[in-house]
Amino acid sequence: MSKTNLQKILSIAGEPGLFKFVAQANKGVVVESLSTSKRSMHGMSARLTSLSDISIYTEDDELPLLKVLESMKEHLGESEAPSPKSKPEELKEFFAAVIPGYDRDRFYVSHMKKIVDWYNNLKQYASLDFEVAEDNEEVQNKEKVEPTSN
């Protein structure tokens, strides 16, 4: 299975599950459901969010969803994440173990439910092995050629 690019995985407001970006169309975007592989088109007014643009609040800053998913994978191994229908206390306990510094006032149970649902969807229908965009500075440093002295 190939690596998952979170920039191309979308959450669509009002639609269950996750979607893979397929193409830009004149009046919107074409997406494919991860779970059913059915394609659909969503107009410009649809609220689409790339998973790469999502972060959760921590006590210090914000933690990108990629880091959250990686921490969950490290914590869970091959197991699934708790069900989104788990009791709020169970979800809070789970996230306290995975991200001890999450902001208890701004990272709500509703967010936790979405993230465990997304994790289980990615585990089942895509891959938890993620593509990581290289840092621009790192790429620039690789391209620099050291001058040689004569």
pLDDT at 134 (0 to 100): 60
**Coil, strand, or helix at residue 59?**
coil
Burial of 9 (0-12, 13-18, 19+ CB in 10 A): buried
The pLDDT tens digits for 76-117 are 999 999 999 999 999 999 999 999 999 999 999 999 999 999
Pair (16, 42) in one structural domain: yes
Domain span at residue 109 reads: 54-125
Report DSSP state, residue 6.
G
Least confidently predicted of 15-24, 55-64, 130-139 = 130-139
Q: What is the CATH number of the domain that holds 34?
A: 2.30.30
> Does 108 fall in a domain?
yes
pLDDT tens-place string over residues 16-35: 999 999 999 999 999 999 99
Q: Which residue has the higher pLDDT, 142 or 47?
A: 47
